[in-house]
Chains A and B, each alone.
Chain A
Amino acid sequence: MDLAAILISWFPFLLTGIVATLGLVFAALGVGFVIGLPAAIGQVYGSGPVRFLVNVYVWFFRGLPLLVLLFLFYFGIFPALGLGDVSPFVVGAIVLGLHGGAYQAEIFRGAILSIGEGQMTAARTLGMNRMQAIRHVILPQALLIALPGWSNEYPTVLTDTSICYAIGVTELLTRASVIVSTEYIAMPIYLACAGIYLVLNYTGIKALHLLEKRVSIPGFEAGSN
C-alpha cells in the first residue's frame, strides 16, 4: 500500500482526532473567557480580597507547566473530588481553560486599564452605578481593544491541546501516534499531522482577522490603540 492510500484509509480516524482537538480549543477558549473576563474585572475594580484571589489564580495557572497542571488535575484533584470517572477530554478542556483564563485575564485587564478614566466618570455623572458603567461603557470598549491580543490565544491553545496526549485524550496527535505504531511509518504521518495543525491554525487566525474587521468601529481600528 502506498503512502497516499494509507493516509486516505486512516483519514476518518484522523478526522475524529481533529474534531477532538477543535473541541478542546473551543471549550478551552470558552472556559478561559468565562473565567478570564470576570477575573480581569475583579482585578481592576474588585475589593482587596477579590484582587488577592484573582492574583493567586493568575499566579498559579501561569506559573505551572501545562503538563504538570494536567497531571495534577487528572491524577490528583479530580479523583480526590470523587470525579475519577470524568473523561480525559473534559479534564483536558477544563485545565486548558483554567490555564488560558489566566492569560485571558491579563489580556482583558490590560484592555480595561487602557480605557481613559473619563469614560467611567462620564457614565457615573449620567447616573449609572458602577456595574452599569462597567457593563455598558467599559466592557464593550475593552472587548474591542482586547480582540487582537485575544486572537493570539487561538494558536496558543491550539498547539497546547497536543499536550492532552499525555492523559490519553484522543486528539489529533494521539490519533497520529496510533497510526504510526500500527503502520510503522513515522515521518510521513507526523508530517501530515503537522500539516493539519498548520491548516487549522491558519483557518482560525483568518477567521479571527475577519471578526476583527467586522466589529471594528472608527476610533477602534486594529492598530489604533
Chain B
Amino acid sequence: MTTDDTILRVEGLAKSFGTTEVLKEISFTVRKGETKAFIGPSGTGKSTLLRCINQLIVPDRGRVYLHGEEVTHAGAKINQYRAKIGMVFQNFNLFDHLTALRNVEIALLKVKGMKEGEAREKALFELRRVGLEDRADHYPAQLSGGQAQRVSIARALAMDPDVMLFDEPTSALDPELTGEVLEVIRELAQNGMTMLIVTHEMRFALSIADEICFMEHGTILERGPPADLRDSPAFERTRQFAGRFAEL
C-alpha cells in the first residue's frame, strides 16, 4: 500500500461525539501532488475528518501517517507534524491583532525560528503568490472575506507544508468573492501541491480533484475520478447529490 510517493495515510479513523458516530473507520492514502475532494451533505463528518488528521480532534480509533511516521499518538511531537500540515478554515481565523504580513510571518518566527528579515521575505513572497502583496500592512478587519481567506492560505503555505487541508474554504464568502479564492487553490493544484479539500463547490471539485470522495453518515460512500462520479455513480445517493449540483 505504501509506495514512495504516498504522503498521507489514514487507517480506520473513527470518532464519536457522545452516541453519535461521526466517523466510521475511514481509510485512504494521498499521493504526492494529489488533490482529493470530499463532498457530501452537511454533518457527515467531513470537517471532523480533516481535524482528526492534524489531531485538532483526537480520534477514538485509527491512525494517521505522514511520510510513514505516525501522527496519531505523537505526543509533544505533534507540533512538528502540524507545522507540516497546512490548514485553511471556513472562517479564515486570521490573527485579528496582526497585519496580513505579520499573520504570515508569525509562525515562521516562532515555530520555524527564522530571522526577521528572512521571515519577512518569505511572507512577502507568499502574499505575492496569492496576489495580496499590496495588502501586507492591512489588518484582517480591513480585508474583504476573499482577501482574508487568501492571506490565510498564504499563512499556511509559508510553512512549506507537505499537505494542505481546506475546510470549506469558500463557505463563509459572498458568492462574488469565492472565485478569487478558488482560483488560488486551483493554481496550487496545478503547481503540484498535495491537498485535501472539503467543499460544497461541486463544479470546482469536479474540475480540480484527482479523486472525489462522497461522504455520508461518517463513511466514504463512493470514491473515484471526477468523471466517473459525475457520469456513472454506482450509488443512487451519490447520483442525487451530484445531480443537484450538475445543473448549476
Q: Spot the interface stretch: B90-98, B175-183, B195-203, B229-237.
A: B90-98
CA–CA, A126 and B78, complex, Å:
11
Contact status of A119 and B87, CB under 8 A, knowing A127-B79, A127-B107: no
Q: Is A124 on the interface with B (CB-CB < 8 A)?
A: yes
Question: Interface residues of A, CB < 8 Å — how many?
Answer: 22
Asked if A125 contacts B87 (CB within 8 A), the reply is yes
Asked if A144 contacts B97 (CB within 8 A), the reply is yes
Residues of B119-139 contacting chain A, CB below 8 A: 138-139
Contact with B along A110-126 (1 / 0, CB 8 A): 00000010110111111
Q: Is A8 on the interface with B (CB-CB < 8 A)?
A: no
Asked if B159 contacts A126 (CB within 8 A), the reply is yes
CA–CA, A176 and B110, complex, Å:
54
**Contact of A128 (CB < 8 Å), options: B94, B96, B110, B156:** B110
Q: How big is the B interface, by class?
A: 20 to 34
Q: Is A218 on the interface with B (CB-CB < 8 A)?
A: yes
Contact status of A119 and B96, CB under 8 A, knowing A126-B82, A127-B79, A129-B79: yes
Q: Spot the interface stretch: A72-80, A98-106, A133-141.
A: A133-141
Contact status of A126 and B107, CB under 8 A, knowing A218-B141, A219-B141: yes
Asked if B95 contacts A119 (CB within 8 A), the reply is yes
Contact status of A124 and B56, CB under 8 A, knowing A118-B91, A129-B79: yes
Q: Which residues of B contact A141 (CB under 8 A)?
A: 95-97
Q: Is A217 on the interface with B (CB-CB < 8 A)?
A: yes
Q: Is A220 on the interface with B (CB-CB < 8 A)?
A: yes
Contact with B along A136-154 (1 / 0, CB 8 A): 1100110010000000000
User: CB within 8 Å of B: which residues of A?
Assistant: 116, 118-119, 121-129, 132, 136-137, 140-141, 144, 217-220
Given A125-B56, A132-B111, A137-B95, 5 more A-B residue pairs with CB atoms under 8 Å apart are A122-B87, A125-B86, A127-B107, A137-B97, A218-B141
